[in-house]
């Protein structure tokens, strides 16, 4: 069972930090839960699934079909090597693909976090996610993407069927649907930028949620001044609804304005959300599409002097272990002392939208509620996409990955050097 | 655009019947919709997606990534031939698989209902489903599975992420969550067999739904007598909740009792549901796992005389075109003059549970609401599973399918003969 305990074996230090003991516990947000969220219990069926992963155990009660009758013997793919899109590839044939094969039954692999086969991927599974993919994303999120989450124990993750599904589940978690016959003072509100992705209003308004746009300038949501966030919350008129307890924001490549929210603005927004007890739902589909070197390459190609190097982060966080990740503009997560940030990630813009695969990062108590919602709705993302993405991420068959892809490795080296492959 | 109009090109006759004009229209069930269902609008984004399928059209507004950057060049699989599990296979090597390949871009195929490639499957798509798979399932459902649906125009289908997702969407459609502060007389109820699949209670009760078990004997839900369906509804005590407007039932291989609901009982239950205006949610994961020949084969192997051949159906329905399908016990659908049946199907027990793929069959107005719910939650099943199942079903590379698999063809032959491959 040791290989199943990915929850506990790195719990003692988020991001491998040794100062976790000094961090505060995340706050309790049960007062923000919807009525349905409060009354959800764990699936009794899913509770026994974990035991089916023990080799040789009988599965009489779970309704699991015999995997020998799955009509696929393998799943395979021709998958791009990362060098295909690298401008400085040293590979002789960077466009040639690798052939990925997922066997029916990989009985040689005893570590369930490494075992990628159809007998497990196409079987009923756990709501949190397929163990190899969940384990990889969890570690990548905790150690590399968000190593500086400032609450004790660090965040947990749960897989989603993409971020539309993730946001639907966040509404399910935090919104009791409001009816026109209810008192107006109980009507829930959703803070957002002046312009908002149209799907968000399509999802929220049928639940009776009032969209509450905040004045937005070229740096994102305004904090002070008329129509800014503090003004909206401090001077809330409860004859128009309940003071919002939820915010939806896209901080990088905001849809449809393209705005990048500055780090200073993020700090100010977080402080106000903390003051007024607002949950922040941070939806970042475009976050990985940052090209820090683009402006200097552009200057070079135009024969101009290089632009001043802007520091992407004024938040002090531990290094992710990788220069590319360190260069990215910070999420709300390194500011999240309260545990009030629910971050939505997706493979839609980094692999393909048709994956319908993503994950939610949040404090453990919220992730536990998301798991209960998942058991009662989608159960788990399709095993076809979970297995094929696992194989793409976890077993890179190329011996010498480029720096931007060396983040797809299991652990950072003790002393990181860009371009070297971390020991795994 | 002609190839996109799969909704209209066979609308004039469900199941190819010529008497559609004599059929009644399905009833209007908007009075059963939940508050959120009533206020859902169509996704403005999804409304423009259909135009992106026209070859060469520019996609500026939809946020669709360039398919050339999807990191998969092919998806492939070794897939079982149907002969693998046929006891009377004439194949020399029935266990050998076929190799399935889904190319990145099948530009030679102009018919979108036949075009299975990654450029379409891994792109954003339509909530109703991936056109080749949706088109195939729709025609299979209307012409072969349920050719005798007795309302004008016949049923429509929408794909789901499996039947747990399908039932979650049915609750979303028909249940306004009830709060303990609401009047007890408004509490929704869900009729079910005495014993019920545990996930159903896990899904329904957090919405405040009262489970209303009906007395059940070896033939399924009892109709008359104390505790039977008529008794429960006719003598409903509104001090304990609202008279139920929803029924959940598994009529074949009921979980956990294994009960097979008889056709006569189905007729009686339908009549009572019609009288008391109850929506029937028929969940049939095991429906295809019927082996009509098993009892005679068993008798033969034991040297006993063959058992009397029971007629599987006493409902007069048009032939599905295939002896195996005709041999299956009838669904509620051939009885559904009102359009009150919502049937859930899944690939979980016929392909593999990890597919997380299924479909809902119901009257068009309900399917339209399910599409709106899908846009706001899962968007669509993963393109990985949709493409791989499409390829398995639509392009059987074996030249001579066995009778049980010849149902996986596009249209029945004008004069059906078992064992011959229908012209496609």
Q: CATH no. for residue A221? A: 3.40.640.10
The verdict on a CB contact (< 8 Å) between A43 and B198 is yes
The verdict on a CB contact (< 8 Å) between B168 and A376 is yes
**pLDDT, position B42:** 76
**pLDDT, position A61:** 61
The verdict on a CB contact (< 8 Å) between A382 and B70 is no
Tokens 């012209």, residue? B423
The residue with greater pLDDT, B44 or B349, is B349
Task: Classify residue A207: in a domain, yes or no.
Answer: yes
Q: What is the dihedral of CA A270, A273, A274, A279, to 10 degrees?
A: -100
Mind telling me how many Å the CA of B390 is from chain A's nearest CA?
Answer: 13
Instruction: Encode pLDDT of A229-285 as tens digits.
Output: 999 999 999 999 999 999 999 999 888 888 899 899 999 999 999 999 999 999 999
Task: Classify residue A336: in a domain, yes or no.
Answer: yes
**Residue B419 · residue B399 · CB < 8 Å:** no
Residue numbers of the domain that contains A271: 16-47+143-289+314-382
The verdict on a CB contact (< 8 Å) between A382 and B378 is no
The verdict on a CB contact (< 8 Å) between A354 and B392 is no
Chain A residue numbers with beta carbons less than 8 Å from the beta carbon of B76 are 74-78
Tokens 């924001």, residue? A249
Tokens 């035991």, residue? A51
**pLDDT, position B161:** 98
Task: Classify residue A350: in a domain, yes or no.
Answer: yes
Instruction: Encode pLDDT of B258-316 as tens digits.
Output: 889 989 999 999 999 999 999 999 999 999 888 877 777 778 888 888 776 555 555 66
Question: Among A118, A129, A352, A390, which would you mutate to test the B interface (most chain B Cβ atoms within 10 Å of its Cβ)?
Answer: A352
- pLDDT-derived band at A77 (thresholds 50, 70, 90) equals very high
The b/e string for A308-339 (b: 16+ C-beta within 10 A; e otherwise) is: eeeeeeebebeebbbbbbbebbbbbbbbbbbb
Angle, CA of A127, A133 and A135, to the nearest 5°? 85
Closest Cβ–Cβ partner in B36, B72, B203 for A79: B72
Nearest Cα neighbor of B103 from A78, A419, A266, A332 is: A78
Chain B residue numbers with beta carbons less than 8 Å from the beta carbon of A388 are 72, 75, 384
The verdict on a CB contact (< 8 Å) between B168 and A77 is no
Could you tell me the two tokens for A95? 């466009």
Chain B residue numbers with beta carbons less than 8 Å from the beta carbon of A40 are 202, 206
The verdict on a CB contact (< 8 Å) between B349 and A65 is yes
The count of domains in chain A is 1
Query: Could you say which DSSP state residue B103 is in?
Result: E
Q: Is the ipTM of this complex over 0.90?
A: no
Task: Classify residue A399: in a domain, yes or no.
Answer: no
B333-347 average pLDDT score? 97
Q: What is the dihedral of CA A362, A366, A372, A375, to 10 degrees?
A: -10
For the cut 60, the answer to whether the pLDDT of residue A3 exceeds it is no
- pLDDT-derived band at B128 (thresholds 50, 70, 90) equals very high
For the cut 50, the answer to whether the pLDDT of residue B7 exceeds it is no
Interface size between A and B, measured as CB pairs under 8 A: 234
The verdict on a CB contact (< 8 Å) between A203 and B383 is no
**Euclidean distance between CA atoms A126 and A326, whole angstroms:** 32
Backbone phi, then psi, for A76, in 5-degree steps? -140, 165
Angle, CA of B53, B57 and B60, to the nearest 5°? 105
Question: Do the bridges between strand A246-249 and strand A189-193 make them parallel or antiparallel, or are there none, so unpaired?
Answer: parallel
Nearest Cα neighbor of A379 from B289, B223, B358, B409 is: B358
Computed from CA positions of residues B160, B164, B165, B168, in that sequence, does the dihedral angle turn out positive or negative? positive
Question: Among A37, A187, A376, A404, which would you mutate to test the B interface (most chain B Cβ atoms within 10 Å of its Cβ)?
Answer: A376
The verdict on a CB contact (< 8 Å) between B208 and A176 is no
**Euclidean distance between CA atoms B155 and B345, whole angstroms:** 14
Task: Classify residue A157: in a domain, yes or no.
Answer: yes
For the cut 80, the answer to whether the pLDDT of residue A26 exceeds it is yes
Task: Classify residue A82: in a domain, yes or no.
Answer: no
Task: Classify residue A405: in a domain, yes or no.
Answer: no
Nearest Cα neighbor of B153 from B167, B138, B165 is: B138
- Could you tell me the strand order of the sheet in which B358-362 lies? B156-160, B358-362, B341-346, B279-283, B246-249, B189-193, B210-214
Instruction: Encode pLDDT of B380-394 as tens digits.
Output: 999 999 999 999 998
Neighbours of B111 (CB within 10 A): 11
Could you tell me the two tokens for B295? 């009892």
Could you tell me the two tokens for B179? 């709060």
Tokens 């149209």, residue? A198
The verdict on a CB contact (< 8 Å) between A65 and B161 is no
B88: exposed, middle or buried (Cβ count in 10 Å: 0-12, 13-18, 19+): exposed
Chain B residue numbers with beta carbons less than 8 Å from the beta carbon of A207 are 36
**pLDDT, position B5:** 36
Could you tell me the two tokens for A309? 């190097």
Tokens 């690298």, residue? A86
For the cut 60, the answer to whether the pLDDT of residue B405 exceeds it is no
Closest Cβ–Cβ partner in B43, B78, B80 for A202: B43
- In chain A, the residue whose alpha carbon lies closest to the alpha carbon of B37 is A206
The verdict on a CB contact (< 8 Å) between A35 and B121 is no
**Euclidean distance between CA atoms B121 and B289, whole angstroms:** 29
Task: Classify residue A372: in a domain, yes or no.
Answer: yes
Chain A residue numbers with beta carbons less than 8 Å from the beta carbon of B67 are 352
- Strand partners for B157: B361
**pLDDT, position A51:** 75
Mind telling me how many Å the CA of A161 is from chain B's nearest CA?
Answer: 6
Mind telling me how many Å the CA of B212 is from chain A's nearest CA?
Answer: 19
Instruction: Encode pLDDT of B156-189 as tens digits.
Output: 999 999 999 999 999 999 999 999 999 999 999 9
- Strand partners for A325: none
**Mean of the per-residue pLDDT values of chain A:** 85
Side-chain-side CA neighbours of A84 within 13 Å: the count stands at 16
The verdict on a CB contact (< 8 Å) between B388 and A384 is yes
**Euclidean distance between CA atoms B121 and A352, whole angstroms:** 9
The verdict on a CB contact (< 8 Å) between B202 and A162 is no
The residue with greater pLDDT, B401 or B254, is B254
**Euclidean distance between CA atoms A163 and A165, whole angstroms:** 5
- pLDDT-derived band at A422 (thresholds 50, 70, 90) equals very low
Closest Cβ–Cβ partner in A71, A79, A356 for B382: A356
- pLDDT-derived band at A93 (thresholds 50, 70, 90) equals confident
pTM above 0.90? no
Closest Cβ–Cβ partner in A36, A376, A382 for B354: A382
């Amino acid at each position: 069972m040791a290989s199943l305990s990915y929850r506990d074996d790195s719990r003692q230090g988020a991001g491998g930090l040794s100062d976790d003991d000094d961090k505060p516990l995340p706050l309790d947000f049960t007062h923000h839960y919807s009525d349905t969220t409060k009354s959800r219990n764990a699936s009794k069926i899913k509770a026994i699934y974990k035991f089916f992963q023990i080799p040789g155990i009988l599965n009489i009660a779970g309704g699991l079909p015999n995997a020998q009758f799955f009509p696929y013997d393998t799943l395979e793919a021709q998958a791009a090597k990362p060098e295909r899109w690298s401008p400085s590839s040293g590979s002789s044939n960077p466009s040639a693909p690798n052939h990925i094969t997922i066997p029916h039954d990989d009985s040689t692999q005893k570590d369930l976090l490494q075992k990628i086969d159809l007998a497990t991927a196409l079987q009923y599974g756990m709501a949190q996610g397929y163990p190899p993919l969940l384990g990889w994303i969890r570690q990548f999120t905790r150690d590399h993407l968000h190593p500086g989450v400032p609450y004790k124990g660090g965040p947990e993750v749960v897989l989603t069927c993409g971020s539309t599904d993730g946001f639907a589940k966040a509404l399910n978690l935090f919104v009791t649907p409001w009816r026109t016959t209810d008192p107006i003072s109980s009507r829930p509100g959703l803070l957002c930028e002046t312009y908002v992705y149209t799907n968000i209003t399509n999802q929220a308004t049928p639940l009776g949620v009032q969209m509450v746009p905040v004045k937005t300038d070229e740096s994102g949501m305004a904090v002070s001044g008329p129509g800014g966030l503090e003004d909206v919350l401090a001077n809330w008129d409860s004859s128009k609804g309940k003071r919002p307890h939820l915010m939806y924001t896209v901080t990088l490549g905001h849809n449809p304005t393209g705005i990048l929210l500055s780090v200073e603005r993020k700090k100010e927004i977080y402080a106000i959300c903390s003051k007024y007890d607002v949950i922040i739902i941070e939806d970042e589909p475009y976050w990985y599409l940052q090209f820090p070197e683009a402006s200097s390459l552009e200057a070079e190609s135009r024969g101009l002097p290089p632009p001043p190097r802007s520091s992407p982060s004024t938040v002090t966080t531990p290094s992710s272990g990788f220069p590319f990740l360190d260069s990215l503009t910070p999420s709300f997560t390194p500011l999240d002392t309260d545990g009030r940030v629910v971050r939505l990630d997706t493979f839609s813009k980094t692999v393909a939208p048709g994956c319908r695969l993503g994950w939610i990062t949040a404090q453990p108590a919220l992730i536990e509620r998301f798991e209960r919602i998942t058991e009662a709705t989608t159960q788990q993302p399709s095993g076809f996409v979970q297995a094929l993405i696992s194989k793409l991420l976890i077993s890179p068959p190329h011996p010498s990955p480029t720096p931007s892809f060396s983040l797809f490795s299991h652990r950072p080296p003790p002393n990181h050097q860009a371009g070297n492959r971390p020991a795994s």
